[in-house]
Structure 1
Amino acid sequence: MQFRRIATVGAVATGGVLTFVAPASAAAPSMQAAASPPSACYGDYSYDGGAFACFAPYGEHLWVCDTGSNHHPVVNYAINGGSWSGNKHYYPGYGNCVDIDLDIAETGYIRFTVANYEGSTFVSGSRLFEVSADG
């Protein structure tokens, strides 16, 4: 399965800073295995191409995909400038994704990075993404 690369939000691509005032949601996100992210999704691959993550503002879904046959994806995210989630390891299997259903206000945003890991060993990371929840 091949995932297409998707551009990040303009403010991030141009080095701008987005500022929003909204509390982070206290509810824990729900997760489910899924085939592939929707077309309106902002993110990219780890530098070696082995992991992919993107955020879909409609419904506030963070997608984490395994695009390397010998490794697994790891994502680290923060909502509205809050605490980082820590390196969350996912094992959807090569060519598959995990859909993380978040709860972010339309005035909010998410920051995230994706990495490719072999067991507990870091292989390759990505740049930092910041995406508005209102699309």
Structure 2
Amino acid sequence: MSQSATLLLRLAGPMQSWGLQSRFGIRDTAREPTKSGVVGLLCAALGRSRDESVDDLAALRMGVRVDLEGVLAREYQTVGGGTWPGRTEYGVKRVGDKALDAVVSTRFFLAQAAFLVGLEGDAALLEQLVDALR
């Protein structure tokens, strides 16, 4: 039987977003870190590709302490519009010289929030995470 351990992560910064039900032009945020968001950060730290399994990370138990609630902030973004010969939109090659429509997006963030996330699970896996996060 493997030994269990706990890893604590402090997540603090000027802007954070923990998407829940984001669709198309509206990107929401939860009021605290989501497990899928934390797993995504850990996958990035480990260098995992999107097609690799996350079952080991999803099996970790997670708890969140809110240290600083932060302020819900809204940001309005526009991307694209106009023509740029030889350029691409979102990495997809354009055909012709047709003008591109601007993409309009409303995004929500937590400003000046701070959290302590606790992950509990297999000690060997948590040690790998510590090494990857350094």
Structure-1-length-normalised TM-score: 0.26
Structure number with the bigger relative contact order (C-alpha 8 A, sep ≥ 6) is: 2
The structure number with the bigger radius of gyration is 2
Structure-2-length-normalised TM-score: 0.26
